[in-house]
Structure 1
Amino acid sequence: MSILKNQVALVTGSSRGIGAAIAAAFAQAGARVVLHGRDEAALAAVRTRIGGDILIVTGDVTASADLARVRERILDAYGQVDVLVTSAGSTTSRPAPIEDITEESWRADIERNLTSTFLTVKTFLPDMKRRRGGNIITLSSAAGRKPSDRTIVAYAAAKAGVQLFTQDLAAQVGPYGIRANCLAPETILTETNQAWIPEDVQRSLAEAHPLRRLGTPEDVARAALFLASEESSWITGVVVDVAGGAVLT
């Protein structure tokens, strides 16, 4: 399969989990993939595993100066970015009543998930607009799709913000031939979640999904591959729930 042949794809946060799976799917589809993260050894392991034409860049997606250096490195190597996936994002918080959330943890979740998406897009968008073409895929979460008294409030607010940011972006850049869409995964069995969530809890969570299983990074990667390809050329500004039916509206 070579539906992304000769496309340059930057996947931020691709040292593990969903980002690494998206990078692997893109490489298998013929793309020249740029792996990005802060752990160079982990990125090198991903490159070894997936093979292909792979460039590694490191940096902090909450720092515009780091992103500018990443951009220059990619332009020197490949000349452009055709597909941008903003997969970087995380939280170290736990569900808590709003009055117990510290300002520090709130700002950290907003920075890691929403500000990082804004800064990454801001860095690469001018080049896409000049070329009048490009494809942007952001990563939200089911946490930003459905209210819950058990959610991590700042993380959920940031991910909901990513969705609206993406839709506003799509409206602005459509006339330049650029598409922007958002993926919103539910519970995904990444390496981290498999280690952190006990097996009995995994089974209970799976039963809460209409499809009676939890998602895998490859489930998200296949959705990203569809949005990155010309198979979805008439789709922009949408939020795709990769959620096993857990988000039904």
Structure 2
Amino acid sequence: MDLSNQVALVTGSSRGIGAAIAETFAAAGADVVLHGRSASALAEVRERIGGDALVVTGDVTVAADLDRMHDQIMERHGRVDVLVANAGNTTSRPAPIEDITEESWRADLDQNLTGTFLTVRRYLPGMKQRRAGTIITLSSAAGRKPSERTIVAYAVAKAGVQLFTQDLAAQVGPFGIRANCIAPETILTETNRGWIPEETQRALAEAHPLRRLGTPADVAETALFLASEQSSWITGVIVDVAGGAVLV
């Protein structure tokens, strides 16, 4: 799968899934644009992928930041061919609905749904003008099925990303633009390895039909397929990178 001569922006690529996608795209020949909030963390990813990848920093929930980042990318590359709207996060924990604060609810929706919307909206005009482009959004298995472990606002936001992506695909298909969504289950990122005890990791793995947890590479290889010409007849789908945990 070859991404040569493709400019790929991966938001939230300073660590975890986003960093893995950026590294995989770079290995496939793409000119990768790295995005995050920490310039030092992005510098480490840039060093790993080699070359002189453009690094942009900013908050994807702030339109002014997105405008500034867009200007930087246009100055260097003139376009974005592949957009991976990966940036998102939650600092919440599972809680009864009556205990969820308005502040945490809004924060989860902003970080995981509004940020995706604003990012996609910023790059659509250029893609429509060129009548070409590939958009990949990141959801979660949390938005695919209820669970006692669910962080409700995060799950609602990720479910919203799925519907947003499908509606987007229907709107932009006539312009030659594809939009697909990846919904990972528990992925052993650096962060998850640090706060999920090994005993819990083993129990979670046993709950999956494939009897293991996912890795950032599992998601990155799926993103590479969706970004490549090998998936040129695929749009509007949600791909469960979940080890069989989401069987619908």
TM-score tier after normalising by the smaller chain length: over 0.9
Which residue number in structure 2 is paired with residue 244 of structure 1?
243
CA distance in 2, matches of 1:48, 1:202: 30
SS of structure 1 residue aligned to 2:56: strand
CA contact (8 A) 1:27 1:53 kept: no
CA contact (8 A) 1:74 1:80 kept: yes
CA distance in 1, matches of 2:118, 2:243: 30
Please report how far the alpha carbon of residue 51 of structure 1 lies from its aligned counterpart in structure 2 after TM superposition.
Answer: 1.1
CA contact (8 A) 1:27 1:52 kept: no
CA distance in 2, matches of 1:12, 1:214: 24
SS of structure 1 residue aligned to 2:243: coil
CA contact (8 A) 1:32 1:52 kept: no
Please report how far the alpha carbon of residue 150 of structure 1 lies from its aligned counterpart in structure 2 after TM superposition.
Answer: 2.3
Which residue number in structure 2 is paired with residue 99 of structure 1?
98
Q: State the Cα deviation string for residues 66-119 of structure 1 (Å, max 9, x = none).
A: 001111100000010000000100100000000100000000000000000000
User: Does 2:140 match 1:154?
Assistant: no
SS of structure 2 residue aligned to 1:184: strand
Query: CA RMSD, aligned part only?
Result: 0.7
Which residue number in structure 2 is paired with residue 184 of structure 1?
183
Q: State the Cα deviation string for residues 12-71 of structure 1 (Å, max 9, x = none).
A: 000000000000000000000000000000000000012134110001000000001111
SS of structure 2 residue aligned to 1:236: coil
Which residue number in structure 2 is paired with residue 199 of structure 1?
198
CA contact (8 A) 1:9 1:84 kept: yes
User: Does 2:10 match 1:11?
Assistant: yes
Which residue number in structure 1 is paired with residue 136 of structure 2?
137
User: Does 2:49 match 1:54?
Assistant: no
Which residue number in structure 2 is paired with residue 65 of structure 1?
64
Flag structure 2 segments of 5+ consecutive residues without an equivalent.
none
CA contact (8 A) 1:33 1:53 kept: no
Please report how far the alpha carbon of residue 219 of structure 1 lies from its aligned counterpart in structure 2 after TM superposition.
Answer: 0.3
Please report how far the alpha carbon of residue 149 of structure 1 lies from its aligned counterpart in structure 2 after TM superposition.
Answer: 2.8
Matches within 5 A, 1:36-55: 36-55=35-54
Which residue number in structure 2 is paired with residue 211 of structure 1?
210
CA distance in 2, matches of 1:137, 1:37: 17
Q: Which amino acid aligns with 2:226?
A: L
Count of matched residue pairs:
248
Flag structure 1 segments of 5+ consecutive residues without an equivalent.
none
CA distance in 2, matches of 1:180, 1:248: 22
What percentage of aligned pairs have identical amino acids?
A: 78
